Structure 1
């Protein structure tokens, strides 16, 4: 099964992808992770990406494309969830070309639907341990009492004004992908609000219908 998991920042894509990975044997292919891994392993494409990151620049679409296609190929072209790719219509067109060339079509693009106000609330209450990187949430997963409070921080990009800006960028650059995949008959909208387990069951139901 070949799935794209789509939605705005804070919609819970990563959380749901990891659950699907554990329970359905689908490997999460997350753009950020594959870039970091390729850089760490110093693969040719990883070194190319690193040259941009070290200059504080965004990794170009063409490099991300190579990394995503390599990751899909390494997975045997099947049983994966794309998380964070494609992000633009051009990337989606590249992915379609890759699918058709390898006779490995995407089965569905699952779009998590979460209102902006809910996302702002979710992300503005997220906290991170400055040393371990462990993520907490003030409502749903607060830091344990034995953790030094001075080590718990709020990332700058989780502040409400920044979150709203990120959502605006998403609406302009990434949301048009819904139209692209709807036109191909692959878009499935799923309510991404409520308990994590409930959202997972909704996604799981979609995948059961595809199986």
Structure 2
């Protein structure tokens, strides 16, 4: 579910633990803009207002994982359904990258809606700004290019309510699917939630923030799911080869 702060948390993990932040939405937009073969296929569905098939998304994810050049990664925005989760399991089994941790963020609905209404996006790059806590340096302009920012058409209360109902139906089965790997963390702000996430990674994976990860040591995933209460938000799924420790590095900024 949008507005949970999942993207912001993913970028913090990228900075503090050296993981590659792989966003399924960004992958999709980039491939459509670059007119790759899979991007053109996806564009046919997007332009027709249809959902992009799972097999197309999985092709994007598989390609991105093979090309990232970073053995430490975090997938954001996928899976959202049981079918997708099962397909992702198969994909990761083939590449011998088992999941270690699933973090479900629970944020109050009114907080999420407020974030959505305050959000502006630089469409070409996918950079996201929020007037409440991450405003652009120049109002209405991207910090890097100076180009105009836009509102996503679906960033509105009516769409939010529909998506909330959809996510309520999807999240509990996903949490059941991931079983002991899943943990729910609660808070109203990213600053409240991030220390909890870091603690889970340190305790479960033996990670050390700020240390450079060595090749083939850590694999992480952050995927998105949501459910109700105070909007049970976006799953962060993190993964690490069994028996090996996660270490850390520094990188990027976020949405």
Higher RCO structure (Cα 8 Å, ≥6 apart): 2
> In structure 2, which of residues 139, 148, 153 is the aligned counterpart of residue 147 of structure 1?
139
* 2:186 corresponds to: 191
* 1:206 corresponds to: 200
Structure 1 102/126 Cα, relative in aligned 2: closer, same or farther at 3 Å? closer
Please, what TM-score do these two structures have when normalized by structure 1?
0.79
Provide structure 1 residue ranges, at least 5 long, that are not aligned to the other structure: 1-7
Provide structure 2 residue ranges, at least 5 long, that are not aligned to the other structure: 142-147, 207-255
Total equivalences in the alignment? 199
Query: CA shift at 1:170, angstroms?
Result: 1.4
> In structure 2, which of residues 3, 10, 30 is the aligned counterpart of residue 17 of structure 1?
10
> In structure 2, which of residues 3, 14, 19 is the aligned counterpart of residue 26 of structure 1?
19
SS in 1 for 2:99: coil
> Which shows bigger deviation, 120-129 or 19-28?
120-129
Structure 1 110/160 Cα, relative in aligned 2: closer, same or farther at 3 Å? same
Q: How far apart in 1 are the matches of 2:136 and 2:74?
A: 30
* 1:113 corresponds to: 106
Query: CA shift at 1:29, angstroms?
Result: 1.1
Structure 1 143/82 Cα, relative in aligned 2: closer, same or farther at 3 Å? closer
Structure 1 70/57 Cα, relative in aligned 2: closer, same or farther at 3 Å? same
Q: Tell me if 1:180 matches 2:207.
A: no
* 1:3 corresponds to: none
Please, what TM-score do these two structures have when normalized by structure 2?
0.67
Deviations 1:17-62 (A, max 9, x none): 1111122111111111111222334333223222323333321111
Q: Tell me if 1:71 matches 2:64.
A: yes
